[in-house]
Structure 1
Amino acid sequence: MSTAPQDGPPPGGVLGAFGAPAGPVPLSGGQRTVWRAGDVVLKRLDVSLEELGWQEEVLTAVDGAPDVRVAPPVRSRDGELVVAGWTAWRFEPGTAPTPDGYPDVVAAGRVLHRHLAHLPRPALLDRRDHPWARADRIAWGEAAAGAVGDLPHVGALLAARDAVDAAAQVVHGDLTDNVHLHPDLPPLVLDLTGYWRPPAYASAVVVADAVVFRGADLALVDRVGEEEGPQFPQLLLRALLFRALTDQLLAPGTEWARWFGPAVSRVLTLT
């Protein structure tokens, strides 16, 4: 979940509370909403306090794994997770993938999900009501589409939706821009956005994002589909629905068919 861009760096009092040095610099891709100060990354609180606490618990348990890196939140000197609306996270090195690097993003997600497989379903998922949560429920048939279901590409995907027989677990539902790679270190997974879905669905969201928004070739659909198995087309269909519905809920009346058209055509062929 994200918020509207906030101007300005974290103030000195926030930096001091988290033990961060002065002179924070904006991180690339953060629209000047994410700032680094020494070994600390600071950003505005963009989830509920309940969800932030859950992220801390989960990420702390995974931290130190030999095959994947995470960056748990940093508490203030007074033991708080939030100071004046700001949160802090440990800085870890890495760079975002190039358009041909999304197979590595998918692979990193699989590793992370092996570490999350034992977790119970968090009750906080039932209390989330932002556009991403509503779009997820519609994509999986747990809520009605309403007027957005009349859009051509959305209606076609809804009509092609079929049952999926795959076990759900806690997954990171927004891996695409939140996996950073390093030549000498395990992949870094940031900003845990929890959903209760099959792990291969998280891979499908990466593929949908990559081919619709990030310039990846449609061959990525076939490559990841071969790795994930015969249910992948239905998972990719839901991933495309999830992104298309979220866009419509965030910007009603906007038509995204030009972006989604090629990927929708491909998945309809597969299904």
Structure 2
Amino acid sequence: MLPPRQRSTAMTIPGRDVRAAFRLVGPAVRLPGGEGRSVRVGDVVLKPTGPDPEFAEWLGDIMASVVADGFRVARPLRATTGSWSHDGWTASHVVAGAEPDHAAAPRWGEIIAAGRAFHRALAHVPRPGFLDRRRDWWATGDRVAWQEQDADPLPAVRAPYTALTSLFGPKPQASPQLVHGDLTGNVLVAPGLAPAVIDFSPYWRPPAFGEAVVVADALIWHGAGPGLLHEVVSANGPDVVPYVARALVFRLVTTNERLRARPTEQSRATIAEIRRYADAARLLADIASRPGG
């Protein structure tokens, strides 16, 4: 089961005026994956801007100017109006690559390294004001994970939530900056090329949190086991454990909010997902209890 994402049931295709605004010619072909709303026209991908037009313009500026060193990004296209968006759509160049098949050959280290390079390139960017306006499930999960908002866990998630929050420890003192909070499925690899970081989901946290979300996702949705955790702790030291705990709470709270909004969705898959959070909490607690942990 993949991370919960907000999806639109509307099958909107950008009209000819949108394609003309970005100087595109040809049919729009819907792309699989993600939120299911992106389309490709030739070598360009069109995506809906979402509810916050300020974010679309900010993102265009960031992706156009970021210095890619150790990673690639999908560079945006301006519309003929000079804006990064037109009539609810944004455009960016296609980047070569595909999401790694972690079941066949795990590449978690490469994803984390790509995210680390991406975060270094963003270290100078000031905090955008639109982050304060977010009220979606992911914003709630992020704020709860960083103890900026009280949680209201449903009975089904209360036990793993309590177990994970007990591993938080003191709030990390590392300086926050812009980080990509959803790297796991948004790093593409291609032979002979640097990894491509796509679909930037900005948060204002220490970079280690963005990396920890990758570890959390690997544990919950990609079948990673204790080996990955031990590898990450060995490479980064025991201080990474509270970050992974917060990352797991971030994801768990989004599940909690989804279940609150859709109470009939408590399926076998959801029950199994919640069990994986409990298993991850036990793994983290075991590592934290060891000497040096």
- TM, length-normalised to structure 2: 0.85
Structure 1 stretches of 4+ moved >3 Å: 147-150, 253-256
Among 166, 171, 178, which residue is 2:174 paired with? 166
Alignment of 1:99-114 (within 5 A): 99=102, 100-114=106-120
Name 1:248's counterpart in structure 2.
Answer: 256
Name 2:150's counterpart in structure 1.
Answer: 144
Is the Cα–Cα contact under 8 Å of residues 143 and 149 in structure 2 kept in the other structure?
yes
Q: Aligned pair count?
A: 270
Alpha-carbon separation, structure 1, partners of 2:235 and 2:10:
40
- TM, length-normalised to structure 1: 0.91
| Residues 1:269 and 2:264 aligned together | no
Alpha-carbon separation, structure 1, partners of 2:154 and 2:117:
35
Which range moves more in the overlay, 230-239 or 43-52?
Answer: 43-52
Name 2:126's counterpart in structure 1.
Answer: 120
Task: Give the drift of 1:57.
Answer: 2.0
**What residue identity is the alignment partner of 1:211?**
L
Is the Cα–Cα contact under 8 Å of residues 3 and 46 in structure 1 kept in the other structure?
no
Counterpart secondary structure, 1:251: helix
| Residues 1:186 and 2:194 aligned together | yes
Alpha-carbon separation, structure 2, partners of 1:220 and 1:78:
48
Name 2:97's counterpart in structure 1.
Answer: 94
Task: Give the drift of 1:7.
Answer: 1.3
Name 1:13's counterpart in structure 2.
Answer: 17
Alpha-carbon separation, structure 2, partners of 1:132 and 1:31:
14
Deviation string, structure 1 residues 137-169 (Cα, Å, up to 9, x no partner): 101111111244861111221233211232221
Alpha-carbon separation, structure 2, partners of 1:8 and 1:56:
22
Is the Cα–Cα contact under 8 Å of residues 8 and 32 in structure 1 kept in the other structure?
no
Distance 1:250 1:230, change over 3 A: same
Is the Cα–Cα contact under 8 Å of residues 20 and 39 in structure 1 kept in the other structure?
no
Alpha-carbon separation, structure 2, partners of 1:199 and 1:47:
26
Is the Cα–Cα contact under 8 Å of residues 5 and 31 in structure 1 kept in the other structure?
no
Is the Cα–Cα contact under 8 Å of residues 76 and 93 in structure 2 kept in the other structure?
yes
Distance 1:6 1:43, change over 3 A: farther
Task: Give the drift of 1:51.
Answer: 1.6
Which range moves more in the overlay, 96-105 or 159-168?
Answer: 159-168
**What residue identity is the alignment partner of 2:38?**
V
**What residue identity is the alignment partner of 2:220?**
V
What value does the CA root-mean-square deviation take over the aligned residues? Answer: 2.1
Among 238, 257, 264, which residue is 2:274 paired with? 257
Identity of aligned residues (%): 37
Is the Cα–Cα contact under 8 Å of residues 41 and 91 in structure 1 kept in the other structure?
yes
Name 2:58's counterpart in structure 1.
Answer: 54
Is the Cα–Cα contact under 8 Å of residues 6 and 32 in structure 1 kept in the other structure?
no
**What residue identity is the alignment partner of 2:224?**
A
Deviation string, structure 1 residues 198-253 (Cα, Å, up to 9, x no partner): 11111110111112112334311222222233211000000000001011112225
Which range moves more in the overlay, 213-222 or 180-189?
Answer: 213-222
Counterpart secondary structure, 2:166: helix
Is the Cα–Cα contact under 8 Å of residues 75 and 81 in structure 1 kept in the other structure?
yes
Alpha-carbon separation, structure 2, partners of 1:77 and 1:212:
44
Which range moves more in the overlay, 247-256 or 190-199?
Answer: 247-256
Is the Cα–Cα contact under 8 Å of residues 153 and 256 in structure 2 kept in the other structure?
no
Is the Cα–Cα contact under 8 Å of residues 38 and 46 in structure 2 kept in the other structure?
yes
Alpha-carbon separation, structure 1, partners of 2:35 and 2:143:
29
Name 1:220's counterpart in structure 2.
Answer: 228
Distance 1:55 1:161, change over 3 A: same
Distance 1:108 1:159, change over 3 A: same
Name 1:37's counterpart in structure 2.
Answer: 41
**What residue identity is the alignment partner of 1:231?**
D
Distance 1:159 1:4, change over 3 A: same
Distance 1:47 1:183, change over 3 A: farther
Gaps in structure 2 of 5+ consecutive residues: 289-293
